[in-house]
């Protein structure tokens, strides 16, 4: 259940390179120059699982878009095409084959190719230039080894239709295809459960099941002791997690800088080095990041210090090479050392920017209030704090988040969110943009207590920590990370075979099982967060025999989540 | 612990139901009974597993008709002499649950059903049920044991059974007497049974067959074959973790360590100790927390096994568990298959047009120069057609305007004999560029398909092709007209059909200079890649600081190094040459600079460390 290594087999197939044997440095391939043609979606997909230098090493010297009509005729090249099997792409390939610009072609598709499409392409291939047609199922972005996502963001691909209960058709199909692709990559034919209160989840479950049944030949996998479970969740049942200030490395970078397709744009950061304006941040091949992406900010500081020290001692020892032993070590370590030097700079830049933001935006205090809102029942105190912050000079979104948390938290409490009108009033008077205020109201309508199916705020907070029942997950007591995501509780119940069927029914006709599942695929409609991905990674690490992969229509931070709501408010006319 | 049989309940999940139903055409008794050893029986039965059909579950199920069978006498619970009548061929049994009257597909399922739903039935009812069962089972043993057998073994893992298979009923009716056999949970050690006849019963009565041809079967799949005691069906406890063999368990010595590599703790009451049910090794509690389904022989059995506690490495080593490669579906052969039709058609078409062209040229040459009589088929070969510029054609034509007319006149009949020309009147626009024909945009005919087409030099809807006259020029007397004479107007499509593939092949075969350099470069790269590991191995010999490397070794090392450096240099030169090659095309220059970049990447990776080697070698020598 490792998406990254599974997708690496796809890249190997695509590049026809043998999987790295031994030290993996010396491998040879074909001796023929290649061009790689991609489409708008496979470009980021591939960039998440491969690197420019890997492509170059495998003689892919040109990369272009399939729909670029200005490509020159270069018959001495072999052409690799990796695209999603959309109608447009198939048509483009047909046109290409009728008048081939390159000497030979290998066609790779990121999902199931329809029979008719295959026929059309075969009919167009008069020159017999196609050497291979392969379906690889990397139809999603691999963000971590256990996290996949799509880029279904508003406004281009807002997932919602005209109402919170309906899908926008294209993102809907895209989600189904991503799930199908992920299942095929992982070789799982799951039974499907979904959140009963979400029509979105239900229709996604039905369509996914239909796809699985359509391609039953592909889904003919070895039976395991218990069938794997696909759990389809809806963001509306947990609107709180995306609103909270995150404190782990990956999540923080996404919250304050934004990770887009594995890249971080640092151009807005003050005093940043020219070569660090845009950096690649991906767990693929970055061991420091892999080790620390889920560490909280405090531990991260210590890690980065060690890392820098290690680098400095290495630099020193590389200066004087005067024995064979030194030499040998140097020969062996040199490639890694080169990587190291770039990496150290990168992470130091990132961490120092994060730490600048933490102090600049008063994040510690704010986070404390957020956690208190999310986890404790302390209306009077919370409200007092909240009012103080609202009158301070904080970013608009921070204020919106705090008010949203307050409103969600006390919506059902005895007192009720009595102060909400006055808070909203205060917000609007403090020059918060009216559309953002509307987003706040939309959020309450989308994910308010009436829309949710379970008690999101377990008021008995003392017990809620043990609720999930995963051992070793609650690390050090920390006031900033008290909040336990709903996902963790849900999974805890699922793993024990105690997930309630009235809340999480099996999709009809897709089978059911009361056995405790050991392989689980979770999909979040409305976007997943890195906080949740962290939970999954920790559960995976702490529980041998249990393997979970999580996916979502997008990876949200608080900003994109509110953007989504803002856009939805124009659609839903609230 | 979940009920072990629970998973059997759900029909859609358990293949048993479908399995059995789909095997309804039961092999005749005779065929089975003739089989001497059990394994062959099973082998013939096994493939059935693959023919699961969903439709099967919709088949009407037959209910046992009591009338068909003679009711047996009441059978004493402890000793049963099995008397199987021979007339069992026609039977097909469908057990019914005696309590809720639900139809079952087979006895195994019934058994599971009883465990699942009726385990709480009061003792009094139990007795009642027992008699019902006895009745039913004695019925059952009077017919179709073969089918029952099928059902039992169709899903049984053979390696798992390890004992002789039951003989067909009726073969030795007298010998299969049951005697009480009292044993605990660990009765069925591997191989403990075997040729002497299976002893695999757990139940209140613990009945086991003895005799030369003992019957054996899996626990909890009492099939009513050959005198199974009816009560065994109902009362045999659920298949539990207890029923998995423990013969292979590591014995506790009081000084055991957790077998988990990373743990290795001394096992005591605090750490807890547990045997992995699968490999049998001892672990501390923490490292034996996984669960998987095992068969009685402690082998992984994902479908019909029982949940059992295992260690992580057994859990992990299940086949397919750690399969980290993604699904890849190769459609190449399907594609080629589909393409074959297209290609054959294209070939045929090309052949047809080519023939026409050849014929036409032959005719034309003959008409033009009657002196050439013995003209072979002019070959349309090698260099292929070149397109005649319009101007040149004009020039040639105007040289002999009078002759031209003549030529036209005597060219027309042979041209039209090849293919019927389309009538001009019906065509208003050029079929390719869709321009209207006018005084300046004249109508022309493609000489190969006969269609009307324009001759606009911009759109190139049609063009004159001139064949390589080298091959046939010796036959021609008037060289000045040679181009003209055998130039033939051909429309776009026909041109592509006749020459497309040929042109394409030529294009591929023509290697631009930089491709040659690149291939050269790749050769050097291969050299480097084969030398480097050798070099590293040599360096490996210098590992021991106490034993200085021998002179020969050092010499060898520096020789290889020299060779490597030379390859690097050549590689570098080739890369630079490619980079510097002049080109007018943006993409081509990008290609070249990327080739260079890749080469630099490789050099940086491999070569830089080598630079400092001389020092190191010297150091070692001193």
Query: CA–CA separation, A550 vs A520, rounded Å?
Result: 8
* Residue A404 structural domain: 375-447
Query: CA–CA separation, B612 vs B598, rounded Å?
Result: 23
Q: Tell me if domain B336-509 and domain B513-621 are identical in fold.
A: no
Distance between first and last Cα of chain B:
72
**pTM for this structure?**
0.72
Q: Does the beta-carbon distance from A325 to B508 stay under 8 Å?
A: no
Helix (H, G, I), strand (E, B) or coil at B587: helix
How confident is the prediction along chain A (574 residues), in pLDDT tens digits per residue? 889 999 999 998 898 754 444 333 334 446 788 999 999 999 999 999 988 888 998 889 999 999 998 899 888 889 999 999 999 999 999 999 988 999 889 999 999 999 999 999 999 988 889 989 999 999 999 999 899 999 998 888 899 988 888 999 999 999 999 999 999 999 999 999 999 999 999 999 999 999 999 988 888 888 888 889 999 999 999 999 999 999 999 999 999 999 998 899 998 888 888 888 888 888 887 889 999 999 888 889 889 888 888 888 888 777 666 666 666 667 667 767 777 888 888 899 899 899 898 888 888 889 989 988 888 778 888 889 889 998 888 888 899 999 999 988 888 776 677 788 888 888 888 888 888 899 988 998 888 888 888 777 765 444 444 445 555 555 546 778 888 888 988 898 898 888 888 899 998 888 888 888 889 999 999 999 999 999 999 999 888 888 999 999 999 999 999 999 999 988 887 6
Say which residues have a Cβ less than 8 Å from residue B574's Cβ, sequence separation at least 6.
Answer: B517, B518, B520, B521, B524, B599
Q: A497 contacts in B (CB within 8 Å)?
A: 2
Strand A60-65 relative to strand A34-38: parallel, antiparallel, unpaired?
Answer: parallel
Q: What is the pLDDT of residue A38?
A: 94
Which of B291, B293, B343 is facing A126, going by the closest CB pair? B343
Q: What is the pLDDT of residue B215?
A: 40
B437: number of Cβ within 10 Å: 17
Top residue of B9, B335, B532, B593 to mutate, by most chain A CBs within 10 Å, is B335
Residues A150 and A132 in one domain: no
Domain boundary among A418, A447, A476: A447
Enter the DSSP assignment of A111: S
Helix (H, G, I), strand (E, B) or coil at B439: coil
Q: Which CATH superfamily is domain B244-320 in?
A: Zinc/RING finger domain, C3HC4 (zinc finger) (3.30.40.10)
Q: Tell whether B375 is within 8 A of chain A (Cβ).
A: no
Q: A124 contacts in B (CB within 8 Å)?
A: 342
Query: CA–CA separation, A295 vs A63, rounded Å?
Result: 36
Q: What is the pLDDT of residue A235?
A: 92
The token pair that represents A106 in the structure block: 């290998």
- If we measure between CA atoms, which residue out of B126, B118, B106, B147 comes closest to residue B304? B106
B373: number of Cβ within 10 Å: 8
Q: Tell whether B203 is within 8 A of chain A (Cβ).
A: no
Top residue of A75, A187, A225 to mutate, by most chain B CBs within 10 Å, is A225
Residues A126 and A153 in one domain: no
Of B403 and B594, the one with more pLDDT: B594
DSSP letters along A204-263, please?
HHHHHHHHHHHTTTTT-PPP-SS--EEEEEEGGG--SGGGSPP-BHHHHHHHHT-EETTE
Residues A285 and A217 in one domain: no
Whether residue B4 has pLDDT greater than 50: no
Total number of domains in chain A: 4
Q: Tell whether B30 is within 8 A of chain A (Cβ).
A: no
Residues A121 and A9 in one domain: yes
Dihedral in degrees, nearest 10, Cα atoms A323, A329, A335, A337: -90
Q: B292 contacts in A (CB within 8 Å)?
A: 225
Q: Tell whether B604 is within 8 A of chain A (Cβ).
A: yes
Top residue of B53, B328, B615 to mutate, by most chain A CBs within 10 Å, is B328
Q: Tell whether B347 is within 8 A of chain A (Cβ).
A: no
Q: In which element (H, E) is residue A479 found?
A: none
Of A468 and B47, the one with more pLDDT: A468
- If we measure between CA atoms, which residue out of B206, B205, B225 comes closest to residue B215? B225
SS3 string, A273-312, reads CHHHCEEECCCCCCHHHHHHCCCEHHHHHHHHHHHHHHHH
Enter the DSSP assignment of B234: H
Q: Is A70 exposed, middle or buried, given 0-12, 13-18 or 19+ CB atoms closer than 10 A? A: exposed
**For the residues B197-215, what does the mean pLDDT come to?**
38
Please tell me the distance in Å from A333's CA to the nearest CA on chain B: 9
Residues A20 and A101 in one domain: yes
B281 close to B259: Cβ distance less than 8 angstroms: yes
Longest Cα separation, chain B: 123
Answer whether residue A41 is part of any domain: yes
Least confident residue range of B92-106, B111-125, B545-559, B595-609: B111-125
Secondary-structure percent of chain A, ordered helix, strand, coil, rounded to 5: 50, 15, 35
Q: In which element (H, E) is residue B488 found?
A: strand B487-491
- Cα distances (Å, whole numbers) of residue B234 to B11, B79, B117, B216, B242: 20, 17, 12, 18, 18
Answer whether residue A33 is part of any domain: yes
Q: What is the pLDDT of residue A276?
A: 83
CA A363, A367, A373 angle in degrees (round to 5)? 155
Q: Does the beta-carbon distance from B508 to A57 stay under 8 Å?
A: no
The token pair that represents A435 in the structure block: 């559309």
Average pLDDT along chain B? 63
The ipTM value here is 0.84
Answer whether residue A368 is part of any domain: no
Answer whether residue A487 is part of any domain: yes
Domain boundary among A122, A137, A152: A137
A85 close to A58: Cβ distance less than 8 angstroms: no
The token pair that represents B49 in the structure block: 């597993």
Q: What is the pLDDT of residue B138?
A: 59
pLDDT tens figures, B49-64: 334 334 434 443 443 3
Residues A63 and A79 in one domain: yes
Across the A/B interface, how many CB contacts are shorter than 8 Å?
217
Q: Is B498 exposed, middle or buried, given 0-12, 13-18 or 19+ CB atoms closer than 10 A? A: buried
Rg over alpha carbons for chain A, rounded to the nearest Å, is 25
Dihedral in degrees, nearest 10, Cα atoms B150, B154, B157, B159: 40
Query: CA–CA separation, A412 vs A447, rounded Å?
Result: 13
Buried residues in B80-115 as b, exposed as e (16+ CB within 10 A): bebbbeeebeebebebbbbbeeeebbbbbbbbbbbb
Answer whether residue A429 is part of any domain: yes
B613 close to B538: Cβ distance less than 8 angstroms: no
Query: What's the CATH code of the domain at A550?
Result: 3.40.50.1910
For the B336-509 domain, the top CATH level (class) is alpha beta
Residues A500 and A552 in one domain: yes
Nearest chain B residue to A26, by CA: B529
Tally of CA atoms within 13 A in the half-sphere of B475 that contains its CB: 23
Q: What is the pLDDT of residue B269?
A: 80
A189 close to A222: Cβ distance less than 8 angstroms: no
Residues linked to residue A80 through DSSP beta bridges, in sequence order: A36, A106
Please tell me the distance in Å from B165's CA to the nearest CA on chain A: 27
**For the residues B595-617, what does the mean pLDDT come to?**
72
Q: Tell whether B494 is within 8 A of chain A (Cβ).
A: no
Dihedral in degrees, nearest 10, Cα atoms B49, B53, B54, B60: -100
Rg over alpha carbons for chain B, rounded to the nearest Å, is 44
φ, ψ of residue B444 to 5 degrees: the values are: -130, 165
Q: Tell whether B9 is within 8 A of chain A (Cβ).
A: no
Which of A224, A324, A334 is facing B542, going by the closest CB pair? A324
Least confident residue range of A238-247, B27-36, B130-139, B414-423: B27-36
Answer whether residue A126 is part of any domain: yes
Residues A399 and A318 in one domain: no
Q: A326 contacts in B (CB within 8 Å)?
A: 616
Q: Does the beta-carbon distance from B500 to A126 stay under 8 Å?
A: yes
Q: What is the pLDDT of residue B133?
A: 62
Percent of chain B with pLDDT over 70: 46
Which of A28, A323, A334 is facing B608, going by the closest CB pair? A334
Top residue of B16, B288, B331 to mutate, by most chain A CBs within 10 Å, is B331
Q: Does the beta-carbon distance from B519 to A27 stay under 8 Å?
A: no
- Cα distances (Å, whole numbers) of residue A176 to A17, A487, B44, B158: 31, 21, 42, 41
**For the residues B99-114, what does the mean pLDDT come to?**
68
**For the residues B255-266, what does the mean pLDDT come to?**
80
Query: What's the CATH code of the domain at A114?
Result: 3.40.50.2060
Q: Could you tell me if residue B333 is left (phi over 0), alpha (psi between -120 and 50 degrees) or otherwise beta?
A: alpha
Q: Does the beta-carbon distance from A335 to B605 stay under 8 Å?
A: yes
Q: What is the pLDDT of residue B298?
A: 82
Residues A131 and A39 in one domain: yes
Query: CA–CA separation, B160 vs B163, rounded Å?
Result: 9
Q: Domain map of chain B by residue range?
A: 6-236, 244-320, 336-509, 513-621
Domain boundary among A311, A336, A360: A360
Answer whether residue A458 is part of any domain: no
B78 close to B182: Cβ distance less than 8 angstroms: no
The A residues from 227 to 286 touching B (CB cutoff 8 Å) are 227
Of B170 and A482, the one with more pLDDT: A482
Please tell me the distance in Å from B108's CA to the nearest CA on chain A: 19
Residues A173 and A62 in one domain: no
Query: CA–CA separation, B314 vs B283, rounded Å?
Result: 12
- If we measure between CA atoms, which residue out of B242, B139, B228 comes closest to residue B176? B228
Q: In which element (H, E) is residue A149 found?
A: strand A147-149
SS3 string, B24-83, reads CCCCCHHHHHCCCCHHHHHHHHHHHHHHCCCHHHHCCCCCCCHHHCCCCCCCCCCCCECC
- Cα distances (Å, whole numbers) of residue B485 to B407, B451, B464: 8, 21, 11
Scan for tokens 């610009």, then name that residue.
Answer: A101
Top residue of B54, B315, B324, B584 to mutate, by most chain A CBs within 10 Å, is B324
Residues A407 and A428 in one domain: yes
Q: What is the pLDDT of residue A562?
A: 93
Whether residue B218 has pLDDT greater than 50: no
Dihedral in degrees, nearest 10, Cα atoms B59, B63, B65, B70: 110
Q: In terms of CATH architecture, what is B513-621?
A: Up-down Bundle (1.20)
Q: At what angle do helices A249-256 and A297-319 cross, to 10 degrees?
A: 100
| pLDDT confidence tier of residue B239, bands split at 50, 70 and 90 | low
Nearest chain B residue to A339, by CA: B605
Q: What is the pLDDT of residue A220?
A: 86
- If we measure between CA atoms, which residue out of A35, A99, A90 comes closest to residue A67? A90
Residues A187 and A303 in one domain: no
């Amino acid at each position: 259940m490792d998406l990254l290594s599974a997708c690496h087999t796809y890249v190997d197939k695509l590049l026809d390179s043998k999987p790295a044997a031994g030290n993996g440095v010396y491998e040879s391939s074909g001796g023929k120059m290649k061009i790689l043609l991609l489409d708008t979606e496979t470009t980021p997909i591939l960039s998440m699982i491969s690197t420019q230098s890997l492509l170059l090493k495998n003689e892919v010297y040109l990369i272009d878009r399939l729909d670029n009509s200005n490509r020159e005729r270069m018959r001495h090249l072999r052409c690799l095409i990796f695209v999603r099997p959309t109608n447009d792409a198939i048509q483009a390939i047909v046109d290409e084959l009728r008048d081939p610009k390159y000497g030979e072609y290998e066609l790779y598709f990121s999902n199931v190719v329809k029979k008719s499409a295959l026929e059309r392409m075969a009919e167009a291939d008069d020159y017999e230039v196609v050497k291979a047609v392969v379906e690889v199922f990397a139809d999603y972005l691999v963000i971590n080894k256990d996290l996949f996502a799509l880029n279904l963001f508003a406004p281009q691909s807002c997932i919602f239709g005209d109402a919170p209960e309906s899908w926008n058709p294209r993102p809907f199909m895209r989600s189904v295809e991503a799930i199908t692709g992920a299942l095929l990559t992982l070789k799982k034919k799951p039974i499907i459960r979904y959140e009963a209160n979400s029509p979105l989840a239900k229709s996604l479950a039905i369509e996914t099941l239909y796809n699985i049944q359509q391609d039953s030949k592909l889904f003919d996998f070895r039976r395991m002791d218990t069938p794997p479970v696909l759990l389809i969740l809806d963001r509306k049942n947990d609107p709180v997690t995306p609103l909270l200030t995150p404190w782990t490395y990956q999540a923080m970078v996404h919250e304050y800088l934004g990770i887009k397709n594995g890249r971080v744009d640092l151009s807005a950061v003050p005093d940043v080095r020219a070569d660090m304006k845009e950096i690649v941040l991906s767990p693929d091949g970055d061991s420091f990041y892999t080790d620390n992406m889920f560490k909280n900010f405090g531990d991260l500081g210590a890690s980065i210090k060690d890392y820098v020290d290690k680098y400095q001692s290495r630099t020193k020892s590389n200066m004087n090479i005067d024995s064979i032993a030194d030499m040998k070590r140097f020969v062996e370590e040199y490639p890694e050392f080169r990587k190291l030097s770039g990496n150290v700079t990168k992470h130091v830049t990132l961490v120092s920017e994060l730490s600048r933001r933490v102090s600049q935006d008063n994040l510690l205090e704010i986070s404390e209030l957020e956690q208190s809102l999310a986890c404790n029942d302390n209306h009077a105190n919370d409200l007092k704090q909240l009012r103080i912050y609202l009158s301070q000079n904080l970013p608009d979104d921070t204020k919106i988040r705090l008010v949203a948390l307050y409103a969600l938290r006390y919506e059902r409490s005895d007192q009720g969110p009595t102060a909400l009108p006055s808070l909203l009033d205060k917000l609007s008077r403090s020059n918060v943009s009216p559309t953002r205020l509307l987003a706040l109201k939309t959020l309450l309508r989308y994910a308010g207590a009436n829309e949710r199916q379970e008690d999101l705020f377990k008021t008995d907070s003392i017990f809620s920590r043990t609720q999930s029942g995963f051992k070793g997950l609650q690390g050090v007591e920390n006031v900033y990370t008290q909040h336990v995501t709903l996902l963790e509780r849900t999974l805890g119940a699922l793993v024990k075979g105690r997930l309630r069927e009235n809340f999480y029914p099996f999709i009809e006709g897709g089978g059911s099982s009361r056995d405790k599942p050991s392989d689980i695929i979770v999909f979040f409609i409305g976007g997943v967060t890195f906080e949740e991905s962290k939970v999954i990674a920790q559960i995976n690490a702490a529980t041998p025999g249990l393997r979970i992969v999580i996916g979502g229509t997008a990876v949200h931070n608080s900003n994109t989540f509110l953007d989504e709501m803002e856009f939805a408010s124009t659609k839903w006319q609230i | 612990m979940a009920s072990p049989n629970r998973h059997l309940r759900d029909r859609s999940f358990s293949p048993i139901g479908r399995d059995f139903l789909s095997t309804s055409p039961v092999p005749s008794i005779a065929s089975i009974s003739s089989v001497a050893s059990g394994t062959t029986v099973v082998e013939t039965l096994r493939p059935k597993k693959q023919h699961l059909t969903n439709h099967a579950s919709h088949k009407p199920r037959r209910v046992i008709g009591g009338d068909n069978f003679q009711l047996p006498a009441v059978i004493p619970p402890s000793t049963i002499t099995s008397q199987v009548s021979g007339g069992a061929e026609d039977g097909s049994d469908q057990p019914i649950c005696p309590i809720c009257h639900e139809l079952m597909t087979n006895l195994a399922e019934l058994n599971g059903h009883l465990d699942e739903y009726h385990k709480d039935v009061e003792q009094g009812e139990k007795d009642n049920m027992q008699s019902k069962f006895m009745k039913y089972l004695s019925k059952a043993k009077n017919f179709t044991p073969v089918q029952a057998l099928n059902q039992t073994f169709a899903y049984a893992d053979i390696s798992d059974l390890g004992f002789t298979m039951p003989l067909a009923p009726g073969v030795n009716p007298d010998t299969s007497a049951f005697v009480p056999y009292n044993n605990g949970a660990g009765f069925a050690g591997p191989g403990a049974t075997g040729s002497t006849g299976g002893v695999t019963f757990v139940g209140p009565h613990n009945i086991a067959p003895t005799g030369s041809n003992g019957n054996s079967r899996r626990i909890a799949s009492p099939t009513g074959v050959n005198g199974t005691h009816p009560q065994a069906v109902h009362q045999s406890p659920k298949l539990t973790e207890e029923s998995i063999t423990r013969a292979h368990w590591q014995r506790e010595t009081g000084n055991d360590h957790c077998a988990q590599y990373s743990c290795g703790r001394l096992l005591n009451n605090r750490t807890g100790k547990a045997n992995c049910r699968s490999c049998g090794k001892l672990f501390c509690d923490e490292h034996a927390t996984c669960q998987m389904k095992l068969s009685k022989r402690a082998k992984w059995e994902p479908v019909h096994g029982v949940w059992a506690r295992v260690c992580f490495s057994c859990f992990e080593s299940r086949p397919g568990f750690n399969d980290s490669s993604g699904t890849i579906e190769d459609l190449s052969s399907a594609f080629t298959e589909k393409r074959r039709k297209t290609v054959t058609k294209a070939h045929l078409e090309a052949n047809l047009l080519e023939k026409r062209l050849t014929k036409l040229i032959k005719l034309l040459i003959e008409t033009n120069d009657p002196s050439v009589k013995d003209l072979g088929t002019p070959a349309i070969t090698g260099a292929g057609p070149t397109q005649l510029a319009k101007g040149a054609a004009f020039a040639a034509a105007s040289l002999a305007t009078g002759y031209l007319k003549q030529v036209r006149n005597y060219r027309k009949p042979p041209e039209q004999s090849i293919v019927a020309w389309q009538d001009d009147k019906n065509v208003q626009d050029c079929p390719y560029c869709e321009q209207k024909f006018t005084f300046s945009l004249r109508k022309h005919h493609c000489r190969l398909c006969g269609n009307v087409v324009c001759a606009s030099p911009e759109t190139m809807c049609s063009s004159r092709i001139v064949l390589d006259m080298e091959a046939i020029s010796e036959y021609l007397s008037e060289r000045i007209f040679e181009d003209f004479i055998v130039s033939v107007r051909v429309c776009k499509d026909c041109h592509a059909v006749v020459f497309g593939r040929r042109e394409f092949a030529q294009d591929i075969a023509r290697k631009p200079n930089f491709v040659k350099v690149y291939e050269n470069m790749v050769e050097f790269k291969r050299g480097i890649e084969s030398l480097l590991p050798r070099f590293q191995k040599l360096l490996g010999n210098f590992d021991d600081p106490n034993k200085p490397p021998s002179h020969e070794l050092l010499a060898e090392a520096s020789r290889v190094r020299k060779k490597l450096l030379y390859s690097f240099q050549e590689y570098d030169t080739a890369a630079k040459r490619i980079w510097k090659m002049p080109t007018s095309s943006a993409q081509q220059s990008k290609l070249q600079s990327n080739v260079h970049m890749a080469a630099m990447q490789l050099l940086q990776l491999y070569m830089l460390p080598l630079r400092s080697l001389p020092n190191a070698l010297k150091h070692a020598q001193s």
